Amino acid sequence: MREKPPAFGEVGGAPVCGTASLEADTDLVVPTIAEPEAQPDTATATGDTENDWLCAWCHHRVANDKDRFPYNGKDVFTFSNPEGIRFAIITFSRTLGCRQNGTPTLEHTWFPGYTWSFCLCDNCGQHLGWYYRSKIEFAGLIIARIVRVVCTRN
């Protein structure tokens, strides 16, 4: 485990991987999504890398863990859409490299009174979650579609 060069921002010890979302999906069957190939060193060494969440497809920065937004005291939710597909999401008060898509609607919304619209990766266009808006606005990003920086460095 120690033969690889030290990762940026690493303060000794192997990076801890796979713990970030453990509390979120204990009863969740996560849809199988192809893991992106491990990337060689790229230009992700910017910003608050320890806390960044990246698009699972293109590793574009999309959120920061410090921006987790507690809605009624929780920042992790599991919902099913009308097709019965379950999604586990983390709520963030803001996103970084995402764009809003679609007309906000209240139809089938998971947060009563909040309209939703799609949240797409601004780099590759993947659907990563939803924006919710009422008196305030926040985003819910699908846990299975985002990765922490430490998990891309193995």
Which residues make up the interface to Zn ion (CB under 5 A)? 55, 57-58, 60, 121, 123-124, 126
Least distance CB 124 / Zn ion (angstroms) = 3
Residue closer to Zn ion, measured from CB, 51 or 123: 123
Sequence-distant (6+) residues with CB within 8 A of 26 are none
Output the smallest distance, CB 22 to Zn ion, in A: 24
Q: Which is nearer to Zn ion, 60 or 148 (CB)?
A: 60
What is the SS3 assignment for 66? helix
Nearer to Zn ion, 61 or 153 (CB): 61
Strand order from edge to edge, sheet including 127-133: 76-80, 86-92, 137-142, 127-133, 115-121, 98-105
- Residue 97 Cβ vs Zn ion, minimum distance, rounded to whole Å: 8
3-state secondary structure of 150: helix
